Structure 1
Amino acid sequence: MSEKDRLNEDLLEAQDQEDAQEGKYLTFALGREEYGIEIRHVTEIIGIQNVTDLPDMPNFIKGVINLRGKVIPVIDVRLRFAMAEREYDERTCIVVVNIRNAAVGLIVDSVSEVLDIPGDQIEPPPMVRKGQGSRYIEGLGHVGDTVKILLNISNLLHEEELEQISEAAVA
């Protein structure tokens, strides 16, 4: 069983237990940093696929994929966070999430695991510069001696960007 298959199974198991979703996060890596997304937003994890470019889009919006007949816009989270672009490899994944009732694929370096992070182990994001960068961060989750950056999935795309890619995907 591949790592993606195992994570998809963990994801399905956690989603089946609706009440148990509270405090569960799918963790993934971008470079040396570990991030987390609440699993209630995650639909599935797939390997990197051919992405069809869309014209006149910001550089972090890579294009669209066809997932079982459904056209889904895809963004590269590294580029969204102004990190250096990286060549995709066999560990690169697309995490399909639901952002404001729209399916969106998030390209990440690799997926890690589904973790329980209780509320008392989460602290608010640091106030670095007013509104800068921290708009994507929901909190910092303490797991053992590590810190996971927990993302606010709704803020990854502005309303206008979501409309723009949704319209382009349909066209």
Structure 2
Amino acid sequence: MRKIYFILAIAVGVLFASCGGLNTFLPIATNTINSVSFSELNLEREDYNILNTIETSATVTIKYNGSMVTIFDNNGLKLTYAQGKEGMVLMSAEGVLRAGFLTNDYGNVNLRSPEQIARAVAFSRLASMAKEFGGDAIIEPIVSTNVEKASRNEYVYNTIASGKVVVIKTDK
């Protein structure tokens, strides 16, 4: 009887060892827009028009539940992590991350950071708004992130991004 339990234990161990890790794919849609300060613009005031000042926000929540961590927004993005021997392991991903960047800070988003996710979503919305106005660039962007404790195990990150939409005048 011991021999059967021993063989069964080895078989179960081999079975679990042969199971591969979970490959999870998160689609990311990226928007970028040029960002310049007044000093970098190197144009005379009559060379460009400021179309409008725009502002947008993004909210991302992180919820802790034992060894599980869930990061989500109100547009269907949901990332679930489990604390493992290797650190935080992505267990599931739902939705699409709509990430935006200013050209001078383009990079990858740390998907374990709700602050970076909120910032990327706010920049994506800012770039989309600037495009709707027909803008060529955003000057003097301002970004502010606030975090509040919503409950014992939940934090809400709110990022507000704003800037002036600029269109460069073309030669006639």
Give the TM-score, by structure 2 length.
Answer: 0.24
Give the TM-score, by structure 1 length.
Answer: 0.25
Of structures 1 and 2, the larger Rg is shown by 2
> Whose RCO is larger (CA < 8 A, sep 6+)?
2
Q: Which has the higher strand share?
A: 2
